[in-house]
Amino acid sequence: MNELNGKVALISGASKGIGAATARFMAEQGVKLVLAARTESSLQELAKEIIDAGGAAVAIGCDVAKYEDVEKAVDAAISNFGKLDILVNNAGLIEPIARLADSDPESWVTAADVNYKGVYFGLRAALPHMLKAGQGTIVNVSSGAATGALEGWSHYCSSKAAALSLTKCADVEYRDQGITVVGMSPGTVATGMQVSIKASGINRVSQLDPSVHIPAEWPAKAIAWLCTEEGKAYAGTDFSLKTEEGRKAIGLDA
């Protein structure tokens, strides 16, 4: 992935899980990073780790459900590194897991704001800069839930479906202007989200043995690969790590 060297990427939800793994992997490829998440203290630790290893990173507190926060994160990329080549819309919520009749309306909407509106806000803030540069890649971290229905996950399934529609719309609108917008559906990943899912005891995903979950480093590698020329073949779709084709494409065993 030598072609990523010198690129500038903004990663939301970068303080843990897939976001943090993606930051570390991209830093190894020479990508300059803007790390965004609500927990700024964890971000500062990650940024220091990357800088100490010879990389470039800045941390910024950001609630993706607030457009002004996302806009500030994009501005941080421009002010610190002079450009924005890559946006990874990774921030996401699955809690609280509950059937519709038992769901808390405020919490339900909060998850939808992060999972759906947060993707729109990222697109809206980043696209003008990318269009001006005539190039850019936006990876929206998706899920198999975007095309399915799971008990207790109405907030997650519906918001991920909406985000997938945004991926498709953005591709239709901007592919011919040098912008690649693609989704990445990793399957089940060994992150803190799986702890919450397991504890809920609702639907088949909560019954999975922890050993079946893939490490966060796999989707991190997939996200980086989708930012290369080869990844453009999947523009406007959700690239899936659950398929043999997907895993082989990024150099993993099927």
Q: Which helix (H) or strand (E) holds 95?
A: none
Q: Is residue 9 within 8 Å of residue 87, measured between CB atoms?
A: yes
211: which 2 tokens?
A: 């050993």
Q: Can you tell me whether residue 189 is helix, strand or coil?
A: strand
Angle value at C-alpha 146, between 90 and 11, nearest 5 degrees: 5
Residue 48 pairs with which residues in a beta bridge? none
Give residue 216's region: left, alpha or beta (phi > 0; psi -120 to 50).
Answer: alpha
Neighbour-count burial for 139-149, b at 16+ CB within 10 Å, e otherwise:
bbbbbbbbeee
Active-site annotation holder among 120, 156, 174, 234: 156
Q: Does the annotation count 156 as an active-site position?
A: yes
Residue 19: partners with Cβ closer than 8 Å, 6 or more residues away: 11, 12, 13, 35, 37, 88, 90, 91
Q: How many Cα atoms sit within 13 Å of 16 on the Cβ side?
A: 12
Q: What are the residue numbers of the active site?
A: 156
